[in-house]
Amino acid sequence: MSIKIKFQDLKSADYKKAWQYQEKLFEEILREKTAGLSVRDDNDPIAGYLLFCEHPHVYTLGKSGAENNLLINAGFLEKISATYYRTNRGGDITYHGPGQIVGYPIFDLEKINLGIRKYIFNLEEAVIMTLKDFGITSARLGSASGVWLDPDDPVKSRKICAIGVRASRHVTMHGFAFNVNTDLDYFTHINPCGFKDKGVTSMEKELGEKQDYGRVKETLKENLSSVFMMELLT
């Protein structure tokens, strides 16, 4: 029997509201686990949720991140129409904005028989597969999570997808940020993921033109479904 995951596309969503919604679903799954039940949808047990969205310009800092990796003050944040949040995910600072696919898997890893390392590996794998579908070769960087181009070249190495997660009792939240048509200028105001010596890129930059965002999103959905061997319910 395939793993069933409820999929929701939140489209353009305020970061704080999306975070609160994640927390609601996260707590729902934890309550069900405590009661020894499965999360249900129309009497059909599911193993969690997968949310997709785009955010307005926002910087988020992980719980172990350094505040000084945000290189601008509150006044400049307002000038560039951006907000800033310290979050409860892992990782350091990153940027979310229009043209980026943000994915929030809220999965019960026990129900899909995965540990946290394999879970992160699978997220990376789905993005790597998606990039390959569009003619971009990518890989992992051994010392950091996410998906990178030319990871072994200290000069050319650049990140195209950031990953930062939280897990409690094997239930996940937060997730990944995949640069499709992202305005990369916003990354110049931070040390992305805490790195001062590595670049950031997007599909638009690598391929020389804006990409069909909807097509990339559907391809990524299919690859996530394949990698995790799950059925996405809408």
Q: Is 193 annotated in the active site?
A: yes
* Residue pair 103/50 in contact by the 8 Å Cβ criterion: yes
Q: Which of 177, 193, 203, 230 is catalytic?
A: 193
With contact defined as beta carbons under 8 Å apart, do 137 and 159 qualify?
Answer: no
The widest CA-to-CA distance across the chain, in whole angstroms, is 53
Distance CA 226, CA 135 (A): 19
**Collapsed DSSP state (helix, strand, coil) of residue 230:** strand
**Interior angle at CA 47, CA 216 and CA 219, nearest 5:** 10
Token duo for residue 61: 């800092």
End-to-end C-alpha distance for the chain, whole angstroms = 18
Q: From the CA atom positions of the chain, what is the Rg in Å?
A: 17
CB 184 within 8 A of CB 113: no
Q: Give just the sign of the alpha carbon dihedral 89, 150, 98, 108.
A: negative
Question: 87 near 60, Cβ under 8 Å?
Answer: yes
CA 23 centroid distance within chain = 15
Q: Find out whether 166 and 30 touch, Cβ atoms under 8 Å.
A: no
Catalytic residue numbers? 193
